[in-house]
Chains A and B, each alone.
Chain A
Amino acid sequence: MNKILLVIQREYLARVKKKSFLIATLLTPLIFPAIMGVFVWIAMEEKGNQSLRIIEVIDETDLFFIESSEQYAFTSSGVDLDAAKKMVQDGNRYGFLHIPKIDLKNPAGIQYYGLENPSMSLMGYLEGSLKRKIEDQKLYDQGIDPKVLREIRSDVSIQSITLGEQGEEKINNATVNYALGFLSGILIYIFIFVYGNQIMQGVIEEKSTRIVEILVSSLKPFQLMLGKIVGIGAVGLTQFLIWVVLIGTLSSVVMGVLGMPMPQQQAMEMANPELAQASPDSSELADMLLVIGGIDFAALVGSFIIYFLGGYLLYGALFAAIGSAVDSPSDAQQFMLPVTIPLIVAYMGLFVFVLQDPTSTVSFWLSIIPLTSPIAMMGRISYGVPFWELALSMGLLIGGFLFTTWLAGKIYRIGILMHGTKPSYKMMWKWLKSSQ
């Protein structure tokens, strides 16, 4: 046992001390916000630098008045088509819009002229404004006052509330659940691949540099394998926990800066529904924050860690077995397929079945079978999973990784001492059967 701890310690420190680990751990949670930030910054910068663009409107119907926006101003100086074209060419106007005499029932022939291709947003703005005007005009023709209509029109959104066993009510939101299931599923998928590969590389390194024979004269191959898997898993867990803390801190800071309610405030509002309802700007974003605040993050992170560890141990053992059987990473490719396929099935299943319908039969089985459950179950957790299903899935996962570890141990102890023989499934099968 003591020796396994030594191996765990070495594997852990050798990786955590690396600069690349530090960089990846600190930068990854910043990458997405950073990319978003850059886009926002570029957009703001563009808006700031850009002078107001003046667009000439030639309206032959005399029906349309287009409101100016921050970026575009619309004028109507009553010039004809050729004069307008000349104004654009001279640079006096950014572009011009030509609205010919049109049939409102079938508005066609509206044209925009400009020196450069108009942006999507400009076209959208123009189309939107014109559409509204035409609709209003049509209503007016039918004898309906658009103002009255606007008062009648109402926004409907359904708030979904799940009833807990003790009668507690939880506000939830399909979008948030989808996002959480999606994120945690993918995260586990990536973790298994990245850290499983590290196990395989580590085993191949020890085998190809011939360190392994010295090591196994000091401890049992199984201890060595287990130490390596656990040590590398601890690295992954460390990375994950650092991310949780970093993202938590960062999002609190960002929310604080943007003037959004902090989780504590939300909790207060949750506790006092009147206060929450009283808040005047209960926009969709605030709603979403309310939902996020209502999610049991401790349970989510807890089950993430369980499924992450279970899935990692299950696949990690298989990766170790592959590493032990081959002499170089290039030989490993041919054995990766049987390990990769269930992972990809789980990944595809997450999108095609689990996130679409978390309670369907396929989703159920994907989240129960140990080879796919770590990814599939994470897609279901935020929607709420019955306790017995969770217990069954976790129990099978534990059984699953005990089985793969046992299986891998048998291949590993023979594989690591085999050099120069071309590995094959047949050979690995023989190693499995051999008692020695």
Chain B
Amino acid sequence: MLQISGLNKSYENHRALTDVDLLVPKGVVFGLLGPNGAGKTTLLRIVNQIIEQDSGTVELDGNKLSPEDIRKIGYLPEERGLYKKMKVWDQLIYFSRLKGLSESEAKIQIKSWLDKLEIDSWRDKKIEDLSKGMAQKVQFIATVVHRPSLLILDEPFSGFDPVNAEIIKNEILELKHKGTTVILSTHRMESVELLCDHLAMINKSRKILDGTVKEIKRSFRPEVFQIVLSQLKKALPVEWTPKRSDDTWEFTLPLAGKSPNELLSEMMDFGEVMTFREQTPSIEEIFIHQVQSAADE
């Protein structure tokens, strides 16, 4: 679907992207993570042809990106807004026509989206009369109204209350099921884990991590197990720092070269094993770990 290779971009006094390669497969939600100033927005702007790369290529469906591809891409920038004095309906017509829809097609699409999000009654309201959350819904429609095959969302949930964030999240998933490829750039790690199939992490202009969410989680397994024992047969070593509550003892142990089964049978000698579970890191922990280790270098 979208293939980026060897992308470089530098500004006056800093490097925004260094040799970035990315492959976004069709029909997935692709999470793009990275701290502020890592180069995410630059990457998204290049894909949207707002700015040009210094070197490297961006290919969409096997062809080099061309101005006609604007029609295929829906972009919700992090910094976004609408004309305050313009009516919802006129505004959506304007944006969809700029994307290349005919007027009649635009009307049909907008109507169906307004109905879908149950905001058809606002069509003649000006944006300045809407709440921030309402305006965000209109903004979302403006992004997807031309039925893009590639949807690029930069911090889509900022400014949404939980109810509306949920609605938008479901819309994103529904679009994905219909075959839309979604690139999601965000700081909200919980939404990454829930929504994304793939993710890539960018830090200091370079890609530092790339893969499916499962792969990444697996590769960052710290091989530590959480163990809860009861009815102790013998005293636990103090260095395990067990926490006692009533008659259970809880602690964590690294595998340290053993297999999980070996560790488990070892534990059985100490008492009844109530819980034996591998600790998996959250994406957030991986993210923080990766960024910090990069900073330590």
Q: List chain A positions with a Cβ less than 8 A from chain B.
A: 3, 6-7, 10, 14, 205, 209-211, 213-219, 417, 419, 430, 436
Secondary structure type dominating chain B contacts:
loop
Q: How far is the CB of B261 from the nearest CB of chain A, in Å?
A: 54
Q: CB-nearest residue of chain B relative to A208?
A: B81
Interface size on B, residues (CB 8 A): 28
Q: Is the CB of A218 within 8 A of B80?
A: no
Q: Smallest CB–CB gap between B61 and chain A, Å? A: 18
Q: Which of B82-116 contact A (CB under 8 A)?
A: 82-86, 94-95, 97-99
Minimum CB–CB distance from B101 to chain A (whole Å) comes to 11
Residues of B within 8 A of A217 (CB): 48-50, 70, 73, 75, 77
**Nearest 9 Cβ contacts at the A-B interface:** A209-B81, A210-B81, A218-B98, A210-B79, A213-B77, A217-B75, A217-B48, A211-B81, A216-B50
Contacts of A218 in B (CB 8 A): 70, 95, 98-99
Q: Does chain A have a CB within 8 A of B68?
A: no
> For the complex, what is the distance from the CA of A6 to the CA of B95, rounded to whole Å?
10
Q: Is B52 an interface residue (CB 8 A)?
A: yes
How far is B86's CA from A10's CA once the two chains are assembled, in angstroms? 10
Which residues of chain B come closer than 8 Å to A430, judged between CB atoms? 12
| Contact of B12 with A214 in the complex, beta carbons under 8 Å | no
Are B82's CB and A211's CB within 8 A? yes
User: Judging by beta carbons under 8 Å apart, are B50 and A209 in contact?
Assistant: no
Q: Does B51 contact A (CB under 8 A)?
A: yes
| Contact A14/B97 with A210-B81, A211-B81, A419-B79 known, Cβ cut-off 8 Å | no
Q: A210-B81, A211-B81, A217-B48 provided; 8 other pairs, C-beta below 8 A? A: A7-B98, A209-B81, A214-B75, A214-B77, A214-B81, A217-B50, A217-B77, A417-B50
Chain A residue nearest to B74 (CB atoms) is: A217
**CB-defined contacts of A3 to chain B, threshold 8 Å:** 98
For the complex, give the distance between the alpha carbons of A210 and B155 in Å: 14
B125 → chain A, closest Cβ, in Å?
16
Which residues of the partner chain B approach A419 to less than 8 Å between Cβ atoms? 79
Contact A213 B80 (CB under 8 A): yes
B258 to chain A, nearest CB (A): 54
Docked pose: A101 CA to B274 CA in angstroms: 135
Contact of A6 with B97 in the complex, beta carbons under 8 Å: yes
> Which residues of chain B are within 8 angstroms of A14 by Cβ–Cβ distance?
83, 85-86
Residues of A within 8 A of B200 (CB): none
Contact A214:B142 (CB < 8 A) given known A3-B98, A436-B51: yes
CA distance A214 to B84 in the complex (A): 15
| Residue from A7, A205, A216 whose CB has the most chain B CB atoms within 10 Å | A216
Q: Which residues of B contact A211 (CB under 8 A)?
A: 80-83
Contact between B52 and A436, CB atoms less than 8 A apart: yes
Q: Mark B36-51, 1 if CB is under 8 A from A, else 0.
A: 0000000001001111
Chain A residues near B54: list those with CB within 8 A.
436
* Cβ-defined contact, A209 with B51, below 8 A: no
How far, in angstroms, from A214 to B140 measured CA to CA in the complex?
11
Q: How far is the CB of A410 from chain B (nearest CB, A)?
A: 14
Give the distance to chain B from A10, nearest Cβ to Cβ, in Å.
6
CA distance A14 to B76 in the complex (A): 24
In the complex, A390 Cα to B94 Cα: how many Å?
41
Tell me the minimal C-beta distance from A14 to chain B in angstroms: 7
In whole angstroms, what is the CA distance A219 to B99 when docked? 8
* Chain A residue nearest to B67 in the complex (CB): A220
In the complex formed, the residue of A with least CB distance to B80 is: A210
> Within the assembled complex, what's the spacing in Å between the Cα atoms of A436 and B46?
12
Q: CA–CA, A419 to B79, complex, Å?
A: 10
Q: Is B95's CB under 8 angstroms from A210's CB?
A: no
Q: How far is B120's CA from A189's CA once the two chains are assembled, in angstroms? A: 46
Q: In whole angstroms, how far apart are the Cα atoms of A287 and B45 in the complex? A: 68
A6 to B91, CA, bound (A): 12
Task: Give A3's nearest chain B residue, CB to CB.
Answer: B98
Q: What are 25 A-B interface contacts by the 8 Å CB criterion?
A: A6-B94, A7-B98, A10-B94, A14-B86, A205-B83, A209-B82, A210-B80, A210-B81, A211-B80, A213-B50, A214-B75, A215-B98, A217-B49, A217-B70, A217-B73, A217-B75, A218-B95, A218-B99, A219-B70, A219-B98, A417-B45, A417-B50, A419-B79, A430-B12, A436-B52
Most A C-beta atoms less than 10 A away, residue of B75, B76, B79 = B79
Which residue in B50, B77, B143 is a CB contact (below 8 Å) of A210? B77
Closest residue of B by beta carbon distance from A431: B12
Chain A contacts of B81 at CB under 8 A? 209-211, 214
Q: Which residue of B lies closest to A5 (CB)?
A: B97
Q: Which of B45, B51, B80, B97 contacts A214 (CB 8 A)?
A: B80
Chain A residues with Cβ under 8 A from B76's Cβ?
214
